[in-house]
Amino acid sequence: RSTMDTEGAIAMAAALRCNSSLTSLDLGCNTIGNVGARAIAEALKSDKSHVCVVEESRIADGTHDNDVSKERHNKGCCLGICTLFSCFSCCCLDSDTTQQYNVNVTEEIPLTDDVRGTEMTNSTLTSLDLGWNEISAWGARGIAEALENNSTLTDLNLNDNEIGAEGAIAIGRALKINKSLTRLALHDNKISTAGVRAIAEGLNNSRSVMTSLIVRKNCFGDSGAKIKNSRALTELDLGFNDIGAGGARAIAYALKSNTFLTSLDLYRSEIGVDGARTIAEALKVNNSLTALDIGCNEIGANGAIMLADALKKNTSLTSLGFRINEIGADGATTMAEHLHDNTTLTSVDFYGNSFGADGATAIAEALKNNTSLMSVNFYGNSIGDSGAMGIMEALKDSNTLTKLNLANNKISSNSAQLFKEAFQNSKAMTTLTLE
């Protein structure tokens, strides 16, 4: 955050054209707007074939609103590649395409010479953060044009910029051409189903090298979660998208054959017990996923039992996020039975599951025998002194547990003091949180 505005971004873009050493640039949380984003984008192009012809007066008189634009389409850019989420017919990003995706393309803002700059461009930048900058769809289309030509940028953050489906479609088109970008963050951009489909199509082609995609909180529901095998994707964040049980089924189907994905975030996706059941079935046969966050999905004790059963057969998962799932004592007890003999999980997050002293005691017994767990989060489970004492006994015997969170658990000051003493005498513990 540096209070940079549009003029500052234009100046930065000019500097980027001359710079030959900078590799990482963080402009997050500023107000560069769509014109500033376009200026930065122009500096990143490796050739000038896509520069718009402009009239200077439109920028000078302050008419560069977010919704004043006219898309200059590349008629030869095809979107009909098997998508990450589902298959769609072949079409070009012209008026027919925007009608298919139910997107209204706005009128384009002309660029002045100071925004366009000279023919010099930057060829060293590998990481660019433009998050929280109000760049809108028009700014995103400028970034997309740059991506079609740029061959050095590997990490791009466009979080919270309201690029919408229109901006996402442009980015998706660019991804079919770009051969360098490996990480793309589009958190909270209202890209909707049409936008996520376009992004997905862009990823599923022979050119894509994308390994990490963050599309958290984008309102695309279950239709956007029909995941298929991406050629390179290893990390996928779909959190806060209300994909529901239907979306979970599509994901589970893909996981049964997917051998690339290692990290999947489904936090607060409303998958429920039915969704948990299908994910559990997939985990029984999937051998590539190492991190799964299934927190805040109301899976309850039944969902926990299904997942515990799946983890008996799964040999790849090392991190499990289980926050706020109302699993209760029964769910915790079943999970404990699995943790007793598990040798792959290193981190489990039980935050806010209200399993009380009984659940904590069961997990504590498992910890005495477990030889792989390094981090366990018990925050907000009302385990009280009784549950805490069981965990403290397990702590004395553990040679692997390094991080433990027991905050907000109704533990008395006397028990907390005993825990601190046990922590000091622990063989492996490095972090203990009690408040």
pLDDT at 203: 87
- pTM confidence score: 0.83
Residues 6+ apart with CB under 8 A from 126: 23, 24, 152, 153, 154, 155
Helices and strands, counts by H and E, the chain:
15, 13
pLDDT at 46: 62
How far, in Å, are 125, 157, 182, 261 from residue 179 at the CA level? 15, 17, 9, 19
Residue spans of the chain under pLDDT 50: 47-107, 109, 113-119
pLDDT at 400: 93
| The token pair that represents 383 in the structure block | 């385990």
